[in-house]
Amino acid sequence: MNIARRDFGTPTIVDAPLVSLTIDGVAVHAPAGTSVMRAALSAGIGIPKLCATDSLAPFGSCRVCLVEIDGRKGMPASCTTPVENGMVVRTQTPSLAKVRKGVVELYISDHPLDCLTCAANGDCELQDVAGAVGLRDVRYGFAGENHLGQPKDESNPYFAFDPSKCIVCSRCVRACADVQGTFALTLTGRGFDSKVAASESEPFAQSECVSCGACVQACPTATLIEKSVIENGQPDRVVKTTCAYCGVGCSFDAQLKGDQLIRMVPDAVGGANEGHSCVKGRFAWGYATHKDRVTTPQIRERIDQPWRDVGWDEAIAFAAQRFVAIRARYGRHALGGISSSRCTNEEVFVVQKMVRAAFGNNNIDTCARVCHSPTGYGLKETFGTSAGTQDFKSVDHADVILLIGANPTDAHPVFASRMKRRLRQGAQLIVVDPRRIDLVRSAHVAARHHLPLRPGTNVAMINALAHVVVTEGLVDEAFVAARCERESFERWRAFVASPECSPEHVARDTGVSAAEIRAAARLYAGARNAAIYYGLGVTEHSQGTTMVMGLANLAMATGHIGREGVGVNPLRGQNNVQGACDMGSFPHEFSGYRHISDAAVRGAFDSKWQVHLDPEPGLRIPNMFAEAIGGAFRGLYVQGEDVAQSDPNSAHVADALRSLDCLVVHDLFHNETSNYAHVFLPGTSFLEKDGTYTNAERRINRVRPVMAPLAGISEWEAVCRLSTALGYPMSYGNAAEIMDEIAALTPTFAGVSFAKLDREGGMQWPVNDAASLGTRILHENGFVRGKGKFFLTRYVPTDEQSNRRYPLLLTTGRILSQYNVGTQTRRTANVAWHARDLLEIHPHDAELRGVVDGDTVLLSSRKGSTTLAAHVTSRVPEGVVYTTFHHPGTAANVVTTENSDWATNCPEYKVTAVEVRPTNERTRVDA
Ligand code: SF4
Ligand code: SF4
Ligand code: SF4
Ligand code: FES
């Protein structure tokens, strides 16, 4: 069965007046600017094509799509000819048929005729076109000069390139440039000698290619094709679902053959990604069936014993009996749970419900504690809602983009591609980051300003930017007067106008010249539309919340909030960080960010859940660990999070976990945390889940099961069974019923149901009576809290300062091919690109220490030390070193400290004073 979607040949045109024309005698109406090809197909009239595809602007090279138009000479290409009022078009005439057949005959004469054994058989546009034009033989034979027999490039782990099948349509080259924005491919040579080349005619794996797969998707033949299709054949059915990696939340067609997943193809109408993807979502899904998956529940009496496989009943009974015993002996506050941003909204909701209703306390926290908790707090206080203000499409209208503490090309690649497209259209970019991230300068993109501030000085920087705004008359007075709290604004204005906030004053702390800060502030404030995008480089600081508030202040003061093209936008790390927070995973909040102490809200939950809920906020993760070491906290349920590896000061976390009487880990694989566990409950990968994720745009997307749970039951079902065994019965017929309960209890989700999501596609919350199909942009006619509130953001230098013993500052981040602690991506072919974590160090700092590229170095802080390979590079400034944290062997969090954000306890991962030394053995490793 052919599952290919209908390709209209050229992109859709919206918001244009309709024009009327006649195609093959049929009256057709299409928006002005639409190609004749698209207009014809919209009316059910297909025109053969090869070089056109609707994800790319038309190119007009293959000459297969010719038509005749009254009053026009010759045969224009329908893909490059826009519709006009009164146009009369013919797509089928004897002359057209003859010319088309001749063109296709030429293509086929230089193409292998191995259709029956070709991997694209049944999914090849050349094959389709040959059939459509009625080609029956090739007059020229195959004896002359041709491109057949050229060597294949199979260097990429996920796709192959067979140049003998290339028809030089340039779709791949255009996809790499226009969709992905990497410009890794070119057409070299002319005429007959034209061919596709990656970078300087290198193998794909060694080229600049980032394996997004856009070229593979665009290729009309088997020239670029997934190895999974070559090995397993063409898929025959589709399940629409959502990527389980980053907070972009790309929608995919999971294409299967029977029960076997063959490939993931980004959904052309997926709201977040519109047909694009990155290497992780498209290719790195093999971990789901990796041999390391634990699919049977396991228990053990003590953590020094081996695991024993048991059935679900025994495992649940064992866990429940231990938790009940702890509750009896130490009281209900001795228990707690941690929910996961990798799990669905429904799975997270039942976990927090179990903790509140069955454990009997509010000791529920989530991994957002260690990433975006300052976003939740800071935006709630200033704007009234703990969420980003825009959808991704909004960046298409931004004239200036202020990117702070985020590296989207690695961490949010599909959004980065969209942002790069906007930059190529002329938007200006300001990058605030200690490191020279790719966006500072890459193919056809260059930041107007790069402010490489010292780690830990974000707040000084935002105050200096604000200082320029208020002292140079750049405040949007009308916006502030109409939309913001006057008193808080005046206090803030006086504060940031003070000399201590001036660019000149902070230049020494930040390491950035006052002139650059002033120029950047003027550019942002003076733009018609300026948008802020930020990441963990903002939040993971001791002043993370202060900085989020500073961003909100800046946006309000300049009026860059509440409409298209502006806003304050956190780029969320994990796929469901937004959702996990929305679902009431924090110890002080119910779903929808309502405080636990609100009697009316609590009453609604009491009544729905038939239980009397604790009005006191519970413990945050760091408090759970501290209390565990102190002896008062004894039992913990952890859903899909490897806290022993991902949380700061690993030794302290290990001490806490070791102190527990019962640790239940619910996950896909054994990990560092399960070393301390007594019960292991096998979880489900995204391919087995039925539910929803909420991405960084607040878009609630459906996740649909591609295969049955390998462990036999869903994660939410296991949680319900545990809760029931603890004496609080929970049961649902399916995940849709959990969403119904969420909707009933959460005003921002009031209009959400699986049936509606299946009908309408993803929707951005709030979804309710006032916005039945969701809300693209927040705060358009007023802030959710009423008037926007300014907060004073006094800069307090972190305690973590470099000194003689630890003279360098370590900051951390992600790389494109890997994801967080690598649990998933390390079990895929993505290790081809990042087999180990590297420590980036500036050449001057390296030379001072006698470190050369590739050396193994000892990285030490006040908290601990670890070894890893050095990469000497000027991407980092002097005095700063940088690493990723994807590999447990590196244990980067051995060195990070317990410093945390004053408001939310989000760890200060981004600033650790360290020293770097070559190790004694000076093992040379390949960096
Ligand atoms: S996979 Fe992506 S980056 Fe690589 S060549 Fe193709 S389009 Fe370009
Ligand atoms: S590799 Fe495919 S998309 Fe690229 S030019 Fe050749 S046939 Fe066209
Ligand atoms: S950008 Fe993020 S959500 Fe999209 S495919 Fe990549 S990892 Fe998945
Ligand atoms: S499809 Fe129109 S010229 Fe190729």
Residue 921, pLDDT score:
55
Give residue 759's pLDDT band: very low, low, confident or very high (50, 70, 90). very high
Residue 582, class by beta-carbon neighbours within 10 Å (0-12 exposed, 13-18 middle, 19+ buried)? buried
Task: Please compute the mean of the pLDDT values over residues 587-615 and round it to a whole number.
Answer: 95
422: pLDDT strictly greater than 50 = yes
Report, as an integer, the average pLDDT of 174-194. Answer: 92
| Dihedral of the alpha carbons of 237, 240, 244, 245, in degrees to the nearest 10 | 90
For residue 858, give every residue at least 6 positions away whose Cβ sits within 8 Å of its Cβ, in sequence order, or none.
Answer: 865, 866, 867, 916, 917, 918, 919
Q: Is the CB of 277 under 6 A from ligand 3?
A: yes
Q: What average pLDDT score do residues 868-895 get?
A: 87
- CA of 217 from ligand 1 middle (Å) equals 10
CA of 159 to the centre of ligand 3 (A): 18
What's the whole-number mean pLDDT along residues 70-99? 96
Ligand in nearest proximity to the CA of 196 = 2
pLDDT greater than 60 at residue 363 = yes
Distance CA 651, CA 820 (A): 19
Q: What is the mean pLDDT of residues 12-21?
A: 94
At 817-838, the pLDDT tens digits run 888 778 888 899 998 888 888 9
Q: What does the alpha-carbon distance between residue 246 and residue 899 come to, in Å, rounded to a whole number?
A: 26
Which ligand lies nearest the alpha carbon of 693? 3
Residue 650 has a pLDDT of 81
* The pLDDT of residue 141: 67
How is residue 490 written in tokens? 């005046």
Secondary structure of 629-671 in HEC code, one letter for each residue: HHCCCCEEEEECCCHHHHCCCHHHHHHHHHCCCEEEEEECCCC
Backbone angles phi, psi at 249, to 5 degrees: 70, 55
Return the best residue to mutate from 179, 180, 243, 415 for the ligand 3 pocket (most ligand atoms within 8 A of CB): 243
CA–CA gap between residue 41 and residue 47 (Å, rounded): 7
More confident residue, 2 or 168: 168
- Take atom 8 of ligand 1 and give the residue whose Cα is closest: 176
Query: Considering only CA atoms, which residue is closest to atom 2 of ligand 2?
Result: 219
Percent of the chain with pLDDT over 90: 81
Nearest one of 518, 522, 489 to 505, comparing CA atoms? 518
Q: How far is CA 570 from CA 404, 536, 537, 538, 641, in A?
A: 10, 9, 11, 9, 21
What's the CA gap between 409 and 181, in Å, rounded? 10
Ligand nearest to the CA of 249: 3
CB of residue 168 inside a 6 A radius of ligand 4: no
Work out which ligand 2 atom sits closest to the CA atom of 171. 3
Taking 80 as the threshold, does the pLDDT of residue 920 lie above it? no
Q: What are phi and psi of 34, to 5 degrees?
A: -70, 145
DSSP-assigned states of every residue in 805-868: SS-EEEEEE--TT--TT-TTGGGSGGGGT-SS-EEEE-HHHHHHHT--TTBEEEEEESS-EEEE
565 Cα to the center of ligand 1, angstroms: 28
Distance 400 CA to ligand 1 centre (A): 27
- Report the nearest atom of ligand 2 relative to the CA of 167: 7
Task: Determine phi and psi for 137, rounding to 5 degrees.
Answer: -150, 170
Q: Which residue has the higher pLDDT, 561 or 899?
A: 561
pLDDT of 140 strictly over 90: no
Contact partners, residue 134, CB within 8 Å, separation at least 6: 97, 101
Please determine, for residue 695, whether its predicted confidence score (pLDDT) is greater than 70: yes
Q: Taking Cα atoms as reference points, which of 600, 579, 603 lies closest to residue 591? A: 579
Least confident of 411-415, 585-589, 758-762, 810-814: 810-814
Q: How far is the CA of 800 from the centre of ligand 1 (A)?
A: 41
| pLDDT exceeds cutoff 60 at 769 | yes
Q: What number of H helices and E strands is found in the chain? A: 28, 36
Token reading at 752: 């959400």
Instruction: Point out the least confidently predicted range of 77-91, 203-217, 611-625, 891-905.
Output: 891-905
- What is the pLDDT confidence band of residue 890, given thresholds at 50, 70 and 90? confident
Span of 129-138, 554-563, 699-708, 870-879 with lowest mean pLDDT: 129-138
What tokens does 199 get?
């970078």
32 Cβ neighbours under 8 A, 6+ residues apart? 13, 16, 17, 18, 19, 82, 83
Q: With 0-12 CB in 10 A as exposed, 13-18 as middle and 19+ as buried, what is 178?
A: middle
At 801 the three-state DSSP class reads: coil
Q: List the one residue out of 741, 733, 686 whose CA is nearest residue 710.
A: 686
Q: Is 79 in the pocket of ligand 4 (CB under 6 A)?
A: yes
List the one residue out of 613, 99, 557 whose CA is nearest residue 352: 613
Give me the chain's average pLDDT, please: 93
> Which helix H or strand E contains 741, and what residues bound it?
helix 735-745
The torsion angle over the Cα atoms of residues 352, 353, 355 and 359, rounded to 10 degrees, is: 180
CA distance 19 to 39: 10
Q: Does residue 49 contact residue 64 with C-beta atoms inside 8 Å?
A: yes
Percent of the chain predicted with pLDDT > 70:
99
3-state secondary structure 479-507: HHHHHECHHHHHHHHHHHHCHHHCHHHHH
DSSP assignment letter at 288: G
Compute the distance between CA of residue 292 and CA of residue 667 in angstroms, rounded to an integer: 12
Provide CB contacts within 8 A for 366, sequence distance 6+.
Answer: 338, 339, 340, 341, 348, 580, 581, 585, 586
789, HSE (Cβ side, Cα atoms, 13 Å): 13
Specify the DSSP class assigned to residue 25. Answer: T
Instruction: Kindly give the interhelix angle for 544-558 and 373-382, rounded to the nearest 10 degrees.
Output: 40
- Is the CB of 249 within 6 Å of ligand 3? yes
Strands (E), 352-493: 364-366, 400-404, 428-432, 441-442, 445-446, 449-451
Burial class (CB in 10 A: 0-12, 13-18, 19+), 221: buried
Least confident residue range of 203-212, 439-448, 760-769, 807-816: 807-816
CA distance to 125, 649, 862, per residue, from 888 (Å)? 45, 14, 20
One-character DSSP codes across 683-722: ---GGG--EEEE-TT-EEEEE--SS--TTSS-HHHHHHHH
Nearest ligand atom owner, CA of 47: 4
| 218 CA: nearest ligand 2 atom | 3
Residue 419, token pair as written in the block: 């942002």
Q: Give the pLDDT band of residue 927 (cuts 50, 70, 90).
A: very low
Instruction: Give bridge partners of residue 366 from the DSSP assignment.
Output: 339
Label the pairing between strands 530-534 and 838-841.
unpaired
Q: Is the CB of 213 under 6 A from ligand 1?
A: yes
Is 470's pLDDT higher than 50?
A: yes
H-helix or E-strand spanning residue 309: strand 308-309
Question: Rounded to whole angstroms, how far apart are CA atoms 383 and 43?
Answer: 47
Say yes or no to pLDDT of 924 above 50: no
**Pocket lining for ligand 2, CB < 6 angstroms:** 166-172, 196, 218-221, 223-224
Write out the two tokens for 453: 């501030």
Helix axes 544-558, 486-497, angle to 10 degrees: 110
How far apart are the C-alpha atoms of 378 and 383, rounded to whole Å? 8
* pLDDT mean over 119-124: 89
For range 154-173, the mean pLDDT: 96
More confident position, 233 or 574: 233
Smallest-distance ligand from the CA of 275: 3
Mean pLDDT of 197-206: 92
> Using 50, 70 and 90 to split pLDDT, how confident is the model at 142?
low
Six token digits for residue 766: 């709030």
Q: pLDDT digits over 476-496, tens only? A: 999 999 999 999 999 999 999
Across 572-591, average pLDDT: 91
**CB of residue 63 inside a 6 A radius of ligand 4:** yes
What are the φ/ψ torsions at residue 18 (nearest 5 degrees)?
Answer: -80, 140
pTM of the model: 0.94
- The residue-averaged pLDDT of 38-55 equals 97
Residue predicted with more confidence, 430 or 922: 430
Q: How far apart are CA 797 and CA 1, in angstroms?
A: 63
In whole angstroms, what is the distance from residue 209 CA to residue 228 CA? 19
Residue 764 β-bridge partners: 699
Q: Rounded to the nearest whole angstrom, what is the distance from the C-alpha of residue 281 to the centroid of ligand 3?
A: 5
For ligand 1, is residue 211 a contact (CB within 6 Å)? yes
Closest-lying ligand 1 atom to the alpha carbon of residue 179:
7
Using the predicted structure, report yes or no on whether residue 461 has a pLDDT greater than 80: yes
pLDDT score of 926 more than 60 = no
Determine the Cα–Cα distance for residues 196 and 170; give it in Å rounded to an integer.
8
